[in-house]
Each structure stands twice: as C-alpha cells, then as structure tokens.
Structure 1
Amino acid sequence: MTETDKAPANGPTNISVSRGLADWLVRHRASFAFTSYQTGQLFLTGVLANGTISFNQQNFTRAMGVCYQPGRLYLGSLHQVWRLENMLKPGQVANQQFDMTLVPRNAQTTGDVDVHEIGTDRAGRVIFVNTKYSCLATLDLNHSFRPIWKPPFISKLAPEDRCHLNGMAFHDGRPRYVTAVSRSDIVNGWRERRYEGGVLIDVETDRIVTDQLSMPHSPRIDGASVLALDSGRGQIIRIDPATGVKTDIAFCPGFLRGMALHNGHAFVTVSKPRNGTFAGLELDGEMKLRDAEPWCGVLIVDLASGSIVEWIKLEGVITELFDVAVLPGVRCPMSIGPETLEIRSTISFDDMVRPLD
C-alpha cells in the first residue's frame, strides 16, 4: 500500500511500492531517505502506525548526496551543505506518527561546486566529493571548501569537472575509495570516456584498483571487498581491492546512482535516461535484450542472491534520483523544509538554564 505525498509544483508524480515493502522495513527496523536533484527534493520513507508507507517530501534545491548519522542528516544541495537535526527527545512522537523530526539547523555555503556524495570522518568532519573541482573536500569557515585529496592524474584544481569524480567509500572513519568516470585531465573530458575506463581509486595509496568500469558510482566497503555501481552496464558489482577483479551481483533496470547497505541488502536508486544518457552504453543494449523500459525508483537488492526483493517506483515528472541513505532503528521519519511556513513556528530549546561561565 502507498501514501502519496503532495506532488511537486511543476507536475504530478505517482509513487507505487512493492506489496511487501512495509513489512520488510518493520522487520529490518529501518527507514530510508532518497533525493531527486532533478526536482530538488528530499524524500523520507517509513512506515505509519497503520502499516502503510509514508513519503515525507521537502524541497532542497538540487538535492544530491545524503548521509545519515544517528539523529542527524547531511544533505548536499546546489550551493550549500545542510545539517538537519532530530528535534525530538527520546520517546517523543510527532503528529502521533513520526519517531524522528529532522529540522535544518545549519547550511554551510560552498557555492556551486557540484557536491556529490557526502560522509563524515571519525572526528565528525563533513567530507564531500567536490565534482566540479575533481577532489575530496571538507567545509571551511572562511572559504567555499578546503581540498583534502585529489586523484594523482588531476594536475590542477579547476572548476572543470575533468574526470567526474562522484563516489566515496569510508573505512575506519576515513575516505578509502573513490570512483570517477575517467582519468581525464581536461575540462569535461570524462564525457568522451563514458563507455569504458571508469576507475576505482584507493585514496590512501593513489592506486588505481581497476579501470575496467563504465560510469561507476557509489563505492561501499562490504567486508573484504568493495561494492560499486557499474552504472554504464546497469550492474551492482563486487570488486576485489587487491586484484581489481569484478563480479556482477545484480542487473537493475535504470541508470544507477546512490547505494546504501543494510543487513545484507543494498538500497540503490535508478533513473530514466536524460539527453541520451544510455546511448552507446552497454546498459542500453541490456534493456533492449530484456525487452524492458527503464525505471525511476529505489530498489532493495539481496546481495547474496542478487534478487530485487522490494521496490519503489516513481512515474511522472520525477524521472531521476541521486542518493539514498538508510536510517537504522527509525520507523517513520519526517523533515521540515527550510522554506516552509511550518519551520517558522517549529521552535525547540533546552529548558535547562545554564549560566555562562
């Protein structure tokens, strides 16, 4: 069953879900967030008290990478990185339904640097993929960003999106692997290398683990291996970081961006093609071979079997999604948008008076 939230201002979107999604989320004690940069929206998906799916939707211009830490959500947007905090105290429920209410408390202005994926290190610092400048970066109080790493083949930090650096995997509280569409070192050079030559790079050593990928995204560490999206082929893959050998796990019917792992499953987002996105890619041929139409939605994939066990499908004005994050232990989250009337009257404070030292 579904609950469809209000449609975006520029047109309707119908959301359907698999019959078992609500039971799956309750059984696995999780909810999740996903973003659409195309329409600038953050969706929070959970299960209402009556057992139906809830879609809470808020507007954040060009919503991109999303990262969840207990009680906190980070979100990359057109020119800012947002920090949303859960305003509820333990045991509180909002509107008799929601066990988490995320409120935007900070927006760090970065300028339009094409923020892709976001994470936090062991010290709690926000680290993000700065795609326009082909580097990993952290926030800076005085400047738009502070670069902390760039691929060895990038000769200069310039606003040229040279290799389309896009994904980042953390290990032991540090960025460990990244994905890029190519090793190009000229402005927009990656666009001529979409079909092959995509790379997984070890950040600690600058080693190219493999260059046999097609438009890769979203590396994630899973035990001794690295999972990634081989988006140009429509495959979730497993990579041996020692040898670079890749193994296909599951084919997904759309352009893959964004992946989150939970209890032996991968949450992934799929999108419909834009401006010939599929043209010349193996994905295009695979879709035709399967006599299939591309999806826009979120898929939950059993990593052991490669089966899609649950799904969300969006049909209408929203045709592209970006990232997804799992919220473990949260049944039904909601958020409040920064430009809503509701945020003006949503005020909370610590009622314990603490005199200044």
Structure 2
Amino acid sequence: MDTEFTPPEVPSSHLISSSNAPVAVELRYRCSEQFLPILQHLNASLLVTTYKLGKLAVIQPVLDDASGDLVADVRLTSFESAMGLARHPTQLAVGTRRGIWRLAGQKDLPREIRLTGQDTPPTSSVTFAARDYHITGNISIHEMAFQGDQLWAVNTLFSCLCTFDSPHNFKPRWKPDFISDLAPQDRCHLNGMALGSDGPKYVTALGRTDVGGGWRENKTSGGCVLDVDTNDVVADGLCMPHSPRLHQGNLYLLNSGRGELCCVDPNKGEITTVDRVPGYTRGLTFAGQFAFIGMSQIRESNVFGGLPISSMHESLRCGIAVVDLVSGRAVAWFEFETAVEEIFSVEILPGANPTFIHSPDLEGNDQELWIVPPFA
C-alpha cells in the first residue's frame, strides 16, 4: 500500500461531537497525494458511516480559495450508530441503531434556501435532506441496497434478508437454509449482500451455525459466501468476510480479518487476493477501475481477538484505501488520525460534488431547510 503522506496545505482538524457522547473531540485527517485527484477526476463525493461515533461523513475535494490547492473537505452529520448505507438515484438510506432514515436528494437548491449557515451550495451541488424514518427496532442492521425502488437490508440479529413496509418492523424475505427459524439470536452473523440484476445474489456470513452467537467459535476460518438463489456455499474458509459486490462481471469481497480485497470465482470456489491494506476491511464501493475500501482499527475484544490482522494492531489505520483493479495495488488512501476508529459503509457518488447532508436534528450552525413545491 502507498505509504507517502502529503499533508494538506490548510488545517485538517476541527472539533466535532459524537451522537453517542456529548463531549467534543478533535477530528484530524490526512490523505495521500493521489487521493483527492482521483475523486476530482470522478467529480465524486465519498460517503462513509461510522457507528461508534454515530456519523455520516462526506469526504470531497475542494479548491482552497487562498492557495488554489486541492484540499479535503470533510463534513460529518449525526445519525445514531450509523451502519448500513444505500444509494438510489434520488435518495439515500442510512441504517441506524433502531431505524432507517431516508434522505431525499435535491440538485442546485434555489438561492433563498440556506444550508448549514452558508450561502446557496454551488452549481451542480446535491443536497440530501432527511425526510422519512422507519422504526426497525435494534436488528443490528448491516448492509443495505436499493433494487429499483425496493430497499433490501441484511438483518443480522434475525439472520435474514428483509425489506420494509409500514405495518411491520421488517419483512423477512430470505434466510440461509441452515437457519432453522427466525429468532433474534445472531446465529451466523449474516452481514453482507451483493445485488444481481433481479435482487440479492450473494451474501456473506461469519459462520454456518444455527445457535445464538455460534459463529464466534470459528471466526478465523468459518466465514463463507452463499448463493441466495440456490443456498449453495460458493466459497468458504474466509476470516470474517464482509461487503460482497458484483462489479464488471466479477464477485469481490473483503476478507476482513486478514485486511484483504478478494475476487471470488463462484463456479470453482477459488479465492484470489487482489491486495492487502493495513486495516480491518469493511465497506466497499467501486467507480470505474477503482475500489474504495473502508479500513478500521480493531479493539482488543473477544470479537477481534485472535484474528490474523491483530498481529498488526499498532500499524492499523482507519480510513479509505483506493485500489486500482488494473494494477491490483493500492494507489491512494485517506486516514482519520483521531476521533474515528472504525468504518462501516462506504459509498461513492460520481458526478455529485459538492454534496451536502442536512441533519434530521439541527446541529451546529444548521438552519431549517425548507423544500416546498410551488403553491397550486
């Protein structure tokens, strides 16, 4: 992985508060030389959730007015225990501790609307404003994705894939065939989901067990990839896998306990390591030839203890690694130096720079954001 740091020319720190703790902490970050030019080339913003701090972060390149240099603009919005993140052409969905927020996207808001205490966002900007909240209960919601207008989610507590409707907390739609019944016991730690053309196609689980928390007994090699259509195991022997994705005809995933981005052949069960990065890998998105990978530090706990990556504990970083799929190596990275210790979800928004998030609860300098149709 690229190890050359290029510190930004303007201060890269500010005070933030956590949705889980009221005490303000200093946020510091830095990135490698190529990270911002890659985002600029894509005209993209990067979205990241972090559940411990309870934030949705927007990371994007901007030109510093004073120096004319490209610098990182990082904005954080509070969502309690933010985990799953799903992108739709007109909205975002953010999974939180007990429910799902839906944020409606608006382009180029008119001048009379003010956001976060600033003047109108620049031309070609996108603003996502919280509009609806669905109460799921604390189902340990993991990855989410839109199939058309239908939102799918990995319900880790109940070991199933689910959708949502207004009368119910969730609507169970699929479970592994080794799970005997629907129960709030986190039996296999189902966590990741790859969408195909007709809906969920592959999922990742940390173990094929049918007892509460049974996956913990063999977390170093019990991980597997399942075909949703057939319930077949297409790859196993993985160390806490997450974030399966179909991209350009290939199935990728993160072998988290080893810090790896892997490519899987579902027909042969063969697993090829594309690259390793210095972090517990979780959260994966693609833009062209680039893979954007979430990296987390790990805590000394019964969940992370004994993982192969724990031997690198002191050198692990929290941030984003950018892997070039053509060369098969990491070419850029972004690192949180303080405050943020783990990354959960990562989404790229091509053609959406700058991007603004309006909080469901006004915080800091936020003002009311009125989005109203013309009077009929």
TM-score, normalised to structure 1's length? 0.92
Amino acid paired to 1:115: I
Contiguous gaps of at least 5 residues in structure 1: none
Residues 35, 321 of structure 1: 8 Å contact kept: yes
Residues 291, 324 of structure 2: 8 Å contact kept: yes
2:210 is aligned to 185
Give the alignment partner of residue 145 of structure 1, picking from 170, 190, 194. Answer: 170
Q: CA deviation at 1:234?
A: 1.3
* Farther-moved stretch of structure 1 (84-93 vs 153-162): 84-93
State the percentage of identical aligned residues. Answer: 33
Structure 1 residues 48-63: aligned runs within 5 Å: 48-50=62-64, 51-63=70-82
Residues 109, 120 of structure 2: 8 Å contact kept: no
Residues 257, 309 of structure 2: 8 Å contact kept: yes
Q: CA deviation at 1:98?
A: 7.5
Residues 222, 238 of structure 2: 8 Å contact kept: yes
Residues 32/91 of structure 1: CA separation in 2 closer, same or farther (3 Å cut): farther
Deviations 1:21-80 (A, max 9, x none): 222111122211001001100001112243322111100000001111223111110011
- CA–CA distance in 2 between the matches of 1:250 and 1:284? 18
TM-score, normalised to structure 2's length? 0.87
Aligned length: 348
2:128 is aligned to 102
Residues 48, 97 of structure 1: 8 Å contact kept: no
Q: Secondary structure at the match of 1:58?
A: strand
Residues 107, 124 of structure 2: 8 Å contact kept: no
For the pair 1:335 / 2:344, whether they are aligned, the reply is: no
Misfit runs of 4+, over 6 Å = 90-93
Amino acid paired to 1:77: T
Residues 94, 100 of structure 1: 8 Å contact kept: no
Residues 87, 100 of structure 1: 8 Å contact kept: yes
Deviations 1:173-220 (A, max 9, x none): 410000000001101111112111211000011111012211000000
Give the alignment partner of residue 113 of structure 1, picking from 136, 139, 143. Answer: 139
* Cα RMSD, aligned residues only: 2.0
1:283 is aligned to 309
Deviations 1:132-161 (A, max 9, x none): 000000012111000000011101111100
Residues 362, 368 of structure 2: 8 Å contact kept: no
- CA–CA distance in 2 between the matches of 1:83 and 1:120? 12
For the pair 1:68 / 2:87, whether they are aligned, the reply is: yes
Q: Secondary structure at the match of 1:12?
A: strand
Amino acid paired to 1:83: R
* Farther-moved stretch of structure 1 (11-20 vs 330-339): 11-20
1:236 is aligned to 261
Structure 1 residues 203-282: aligned runs within 5 Å: 203-276=228-301, 277-282=303-308
1:350 is aligned to 373
- CA–CA distance in 1 between the matches of 2:267 and 2:172? 27
For the pair 1:161 / 2:179, whether they are aligned, the reply is: no
Residues 120, 127 of structure 1: 8 Å contact kept: yes
Give the alignment partner of residue 38 of structure 1, picking from 52, 70, 79. Answer: 52
Q: CA deviation at 1:97?
A: 7.6
Q: CA deviation at 1:90?
A: 7.7
Give the alignment partner of residue 15 of structure 1, picking from 6, 14, 29. Answer: 29
Residues 298, 310 of structure 2: 8 Å contact kept: no
Q: CA deviation at 1:222?
A: 2.2
1:319 is aligned to 341
Residues 279, 297 of structure 2: 8 Å contact kept: yes
Residues 124, 352 of structure 2: 8 Å contact kept: no
Q: Secondary structure at the match of 2:81?
A: coil
- CA–CA distance in 2 between the matches of 1:147 and 1:329? 34
Q: Secondary structure at the match of 1:27?
A: helix
Give the alignment partner of residue 301 of structure 1, picking from 313, 318, 323. Answer: 323
Residues 330/39 of structure 1: CA separation in 2 closer, same or farther (3 Å cut): same
2:42 is aligned to 28
Residues 307/279 of structure 1: CA separation in 2 closer, same or farther (3 Å cut): same
1:88 is aligned to 107
Contiguous gaps of at least 5 residues in structure 2: 1-7, 65-69, 112-118
- CA–CA distance in 1 between the matches of 2:107 and 2:123? 12
Residues 5, 56 of structure 1: 8 Å contact kept: no
